[in-house]
Amino acid sequence: MDVTRRRKILTSIDDNVVASKTTFGKAFKEVKKVGLSLRPNESKTLTKLNVKGKPEIAPKKQKEAVDCELPKVASLALFKNAVSSKSYINIDCFDDGQKFLLYTERCRAIPPIFLENKIISGKMRAILFDWMLQVQDRFNLEHDTLHLGYMMVDRCLRTMDIKKDKLQLLGATCLFIATKYEEVSIPHITDFVYLAASAFTKRDIMAMERKVFQAVNFNMGFAYPIHFLRRYRYALQNKDDTHDLSKCFLDLFMSIYELANKLPSIMAQVSLYISYFVSGKKLPAEVYSLMAITEKELKKECTDFVDHILIFCTTPKETTLHRKYRLIKPRLSESQHELLKTLKLH
Give which of 308, 314, 338 is closest to 126, Cα–Cα. 308
Average pLDDT over residues 262-287: 89
Q: Is residue 198 a part of any domain in this protein?
A: yes
Q: Is residue 6 a part of any domain in this protein?
A: no
Same domain, 293 and 231: yes
> Which residue among 161, 196, 215 closes a domain?
215
Other Cβ atoms closer than 10 A to 143: 18
Same domain, 241 and 333: yes
Same domain, 313 and 234: yes
Q: Which domain holds residue 285?
A: 226-345
Q: Is residue 39 a part of any domain in this protein?
A: no
Same domain, 236 and 329: yes
Same domain, 264 and 171: no
Higher pLDDT pick, 182 / 335: 182
> Which residue among 215, 237, 254 closes a domain?
215
Local confidence band at 12 (pLDDT 50, 70, 90 cut-offs): low
Mean pLDDT of the chain: 80
Other Cβ atoms closer than 10 A to 307: 14
Same domain, 232 and 303: yes
Higher pLDDT pick, 179 / 24: 179
pLDDT at residue 48 is higher than 60: no
Q: Is residue 60 a part of any domain in this protein?
A: no
Same domain, 241 and 167: no
pLDDT at residue 4 is higher than 90: no
The predicted structure's pLDDT at residue 317:
84
Local confidence band at 240 (pLDDT 50, 70, 90 cut-offs): low
> Which residue among 194, 215, 236 closes a domain?
215
pLDDT at residue 114 is higher than 80: yes
pLDDT tens digit string along 122-131? 999 999 999 9
The predicted structure's pLDDT at residue 17:
54
Same domain, 188 and 258: no
Local confidence band at 5 (pLDDT 50, 70, 90 cut-offs): low
Q: Is residue 205 a part of any domain in this protein?
A: yes
Q: What's the whole-model pTM score?
A: 0.76
pLDDT at residue 286 is higher than 90: no
In the chain, how many H helices and how many E strands?
A: 16, 2
Q: How does DSSP assign 151-185, residue by residue? A: HHHHHHHHHS---GGGHHHHHHHHHHHHHHHH-SS
- C-alpha–C-alpha distance, residues 66 and 103, integer Å: 9
Which stretches does DSSP call E strand in 169-308? none
Q: Is residue 51 a part of any domain in this protein?
A: no
Average pLDDT over residues 322-333: 80
Local confidence band at 38 (pLDDT 50, 70, 90 cut-offs): very low
Q: Is residue 202 a part of any domain in this protein?
A: yes
Same domain, 236 and 338: yes
Average pLDDT over residues 147-172: 95
How many domains does one find in the chain? Answer: 2
Q: Judging by beta carbons within 10 Å of its beta carbon (0-12, 13-18, 19+), is residue 224 exposed, middle or buried?
A: buried
Q: Is residue 70 a part of any domain in this protein?
A: no
- C-alpha–C-alpha distance, residues 48 and 322, integer Å: 65
Least confident of 1-15, 165-179, 276-290: 1-15
The predicted structure's pLDDT at residue 202:
93
86 Cβ neighbours under 8 A, 6+ residues apart? none
Same domain, 234 and 211: no
Same domain, 324 and 279: yes
Give which of 287, 282, 257, 253 is closest to 270, Cα–Cα. 253
- CATH (domain of 295): 1.10.472.10
Same domain, 161 and 264: no
